[in-house]
Amino acid sequence: MVIAVGDTRVYKFPQSTVAAEIYSDRVEILVLPERRKFVLHGERVKLADLREVYPERTSQNILATIVVNALRDGFLQVDEEAV
């Protein structure tokens, strides 16, 4: 898995497990065993616009789809690394 933080940093985590907690406005991603934590905010993915396109889907469902697709593709762009 490759995780890009903003436009400045890129991390590669081969053979890692990714866990995600999905809230209505953000996703918190934990990479194990490295214990690195990242945050994807709904603003980055234009969550408000996507809710208009898919009115039957919840914010959590849209964010979950984005994360699942990123895991499948092996690349996720996030907003920040949590300390």
Domain residues for the domain of 74 are: 2-82
Count of structural domains within the chain = 1
Asked if 80 contacts 5 with a C-beta cutoff of 8 angstroms, the reply is yes
DSSP-assigned beta bridge partners for residue 41: 26
Asked if 3 contacts 76 with a C-beta cutoff of 8 angstroms, the reply is yes
Asked if 1 contacts 40 with a C-beta cutoff of 8 angstroms, the reply is no
Segment 50-83, tens digit of pLDDT: 888 888 999 999 999 999 999 999 999 999 999 8
Q: Which two tokens stand for residue 23?
A: 């809230």
Is residue 7 predicted with pLDDT exceeding 90?
no
pTM: 0.86
Name residue, tokens 């889907």: 57
Asked if 27 contacts 82 with a C-beta cutoff of 8 angstroms, the reply is no
